[in-house]
Amino acid sequence: MGHDKLNVWYEDCLVGSVYENEVQKLIFEYSPEWLTSVRKFSLSHSMPLNTYTPEEKEYALASHNFFTNLLPEGHSKARIEKELKVSGDFQLLKAIGGECAGALSISEKKPSSCYEYEEIDNDDLDELLNTRSLYFKGDKKGRKQRFSLAGAQDKTVVYYQGDKILLPVDDAPSTHILKYKSHQFRNLPALETIATWTAKNLDIPVVDVQYMEHDNNDFILVERYDRVFSDHKIKRLHQEDFSQALSLFGDNKYEQYSGKGFKDCIQLVQTVSDNVRQDMKKLIQWHVFNFFIGNSDAHMKNLSFIYHDNSQRSLAPFYDLVPVQAYQGDIDHSLSMYFGGAAHPYEINPESLEIISKECKARPAYIVTIAEQIKNNIMDAFIKAVDEFEDNHSVCFCFDRVERVIKKNIEHYNKSL
């Protein structure tokens, strides 16, 4: 029996097709024209061009995990399915796969090269922010967006031009991700902003984040690193997150569920990156920074490779940096990715950095030097970020909680290591 198929496009070239098999798994096949194209590249480290065979169990699993990792998660996914009256990964991919992370567009028809955008006015922005819409219902001509963003946080995609926010129509590429405030976690946009700016002040490569306020709403605009301007048009660059590269599904992005952790990230960089030495240092900086800033929720999907010219691969700028430990109550502060074998920030011990050095196959002194540099400079970097924030926005008292978290983690580090 035949299967309904969705085409997977890179610009105007057919990369392959994806279909749902009898047990609701998404199976991908590379197209013959892609395999002979001068522009060809593998969609994922887990789906190599030369040996990929869709019928084999290993590759069938990698295919399913790659495409489902493009989709929203949790309540965001449930909201979209309810709004669009669709059910299941294949139908959701069919409905919203036109604008994904990376260079691919998933559509039955070849994407148009003529992009259209709808400028929104203040009333439209009010509606967008108040409803935290995940899927814009259409422009004035009744056309809709077809975008898919992974993750559980409510967000949408926009084209940000000067001080204007425009919504992509159909499969048009976006330039920024608009992340809404959260009803569950107060001050989330401000906290993500301050953590990202603190990392930037430490010369850790991060995405560009702009904090914005509109009436009684706040939100952030995150510039997409997988979009560049070429010949006055937006060009999509391919990317894959570490869950896709390691063929992990859903909650397996957390080490406690998959057993995959920092050691596996290091090995992946050593295997995939074309800038191993630089990317190893960046990855270690990211891991140490997350410890001090209190980002307990740093997991596999918060790391990605970007394909420059869709061939040269390196670590993408870091994103989704949130000082989770600034939230109290029923918030789990266990580490999504263990720190030197420690599953909780207050379990680190004198062996933790030695374990990390072994995971990296690096001298312990090298790891200690990076950790000491971040520890000794993070408070100044944080204060500089807060000053910059408060020069342009109202005082946010939640930053006091972040300061306490940083000081507490520095104190614990000094006592334990």
Amino acid residing at 277: R
379: left (phi over 0), alpha (psi -120 to 50) or beta: alpha
Identity of the residue numbered 169: V
**What sections of 261-351 are H helices per DSSP?**
262-272, 276-293
pLDDT digits (tens, 9 = 90+) for 226-253: 999 988 889 999 999 999 999 999 889 9
Task: Report the CATH number that the domain containing residue 370 is assigned in CATH.
Answer: 1.10.1070
Pick from 192, 223, 254: which residue ends a domain?
Answer: 223
| pLDDT beyond 90 at 411 | yes
Is 235 inside any structural domain?
Answer: no
Percent residues over pLDDT 90 in the chain: 69
Residue 373 has pLDDT above 60, yes or no: yes
Report the run of H or E that residue 96 belongs to, with start and end. Answer: helix 89-96
Q: Are residues 92 and 210 in the same domain?
A: no
Nearest of 334, 73, 329, 401 to residue 184 by alpha carbon: 329
Two tokens, residue 163: 């001080």
Q: How many CB atoms lie within 10 A of CB 237?
A: 18
Same domain (yes/no): 262, 146:
no
State how many domains the chain has. 3
Residues 281 and 301 in one domain: yes
Has residue 204 been placed in a domain? yes
Is the confidence at residue 294, as pLDDT, over 90?
yes
Low-confidence winner among 144-153, 200-209, 275-284, 378-387 (lowest mean pLDDT): 144-153
> Quick one: DSSP state of residue 169?
P
For the cut 70, the answer to whether the pLDDT of residue 79 exceeds it is yes
DSSP-assigned letter for residue 70: T
Looking at the domain assignment, is residue 206 inside a domain?
yes
47 DSSP assignment: S
Q: Which pTM value belongs to this model?
A: 0.94
For the chain, what is the mean pLDDT? 90
CB atoms within 10 A of CB 26: 22
CA geometry: angle 198, 280, 259, nearest 5 deg: 95
pLDDT one-digit tens code per residue, 29-59: 999 999 999 999 999 999 999 777 777 888 8
Are residue 59 and residue 139 in the same domain, yes or no? no
Q: How far is CA 364 from CA 34, 135, 270, 275, 340, in A?
A: 45, 48, 18, 22, 12
66: pLDDT strictly greater than 60: yes
Strand 104-107 vs strand 26-30: parallel, antiparallel, or unpaired?
A: unpaired
Q: Which segments of 89-137 are extended strands (E)?
A: 104-107, 117-119
pLDDT band at 152 (very low <50, low <70, confident <90, very high): low
The sign of the torsion formed by the CA atoms of 176, 177, 183, 187 equals negative
For residue 359, being part of any structural domain is answered with yes
pLDDT recorded at residue 255: 95
d(CA 290, CA 308): 26
The pLDDT of residue 9 is 96
Closest CA relative to residue 156, chosen from 175, 183, 184, 141: 175
Helix (H, G, I), strand (E, B) or coil at 28: strand
**Type of residue found at 278:** Q
Output DSSP code: residue 111: P
Do 9 and 156 belong to one domain? no
* 106 vs 6: CA distance, rounded Å: 7
For 141-155, 269-283, 287-301, 303-317, which range has the lowest pLDDT when averaged over its residues?
141-155
Helices (H), 112-260: 122-131, 188-201, 242-245, 255-258
What is the distance between the alpha carbons of residues 44 and 382, in angstroms, rounded to a whole number?
36
**What is the reported pLDDT for 31?**
95
93 with 216, same domain?
no
At 290, which amino acid appears? Answer: N
Instruction: Find out whether 17 and 7 touch, Cβ atoms under 8 Å.
Output: yes
pLDDT of residue 149: 56
Given a contact cutoff of 8 angstroms between Cβ atoms, the answer to whether 305 and 273 are in contact is: yes
Residues 262 and 382 in one domain: yes
Note whether 265 and 384 are same-domain residues.
yes
Give pairs for 208-211: CB < 8 Å, separation 24+. Answer: 211/389, 211/392, 211/393
In the predicted structure, residue 160 carries a pLDDT above the cut 70: yes
pLDDT at 138 over 50: no
pLDDT of residue 370 exceeding 60 = yes
371-376 contacts, C-beta under 8 A, 24 or more apart: 371/288, 371/413, 371/417, 374/202, 374/285, 374/288, 374/289, 374/292, 375/292, 375/410, 375/413
Q: pLDDT tens digits, residue range 2-32?
A: 578 999 999 999 999 999 998 889 999 999 9
Distances in Å between the Cα of 129 and the Cα atoms of 14, 182, 382 are 36, 11, 28
Identify whether residues 249 and 169 lie together within a single domain: no
State which of 57, 73, 107 marks the end of a domain.
Answer: 107
What b-and-e string marks burial along 175-207, b requiring 16 or more CB atoms within 10 Å of the CB? bbbbbbbeeebebbbbbbbbbbbbbbbbebbbb
pLDDT of 390 > 80? The answer is yes
pLDDT for the residue 143: 43
Tokens of 177: 């991700």
Q: Is the pLDDT of residue 139 over 60?
A: no
Range of the domain at 135: 117-223
Domain contains 229: no
In a domain, 237, yes or no: no
Percent of the chain whose pLDDT exceeds 70: 94
pLDDT exceeds cutoff 70 at 281: yes
Shared domain for 374 and 262, answered yes or no, is yes
Residues 173 and 197 in one domain: yes
Q: Is the pLDDT of residue 266 over 90?
A: yes
Asked if residue 266 and residue 169 are part of one domain, the reply reads: no
Instruction: Find the mean pLDDT for residues 163-182.
Output: 91
Contact 131, 154 (CB under 8 A): no
Q: What is the pLDDT of residue 113?
A: 82
pLDDT for residue 166 is more than 80: yes
- Least confident range from 62-66, 80-84, 152-156: namely 152-156
Among 223, 256, 288, the domain-final residue is 223
Has residue 157 been placed in a domain? Answer: yes
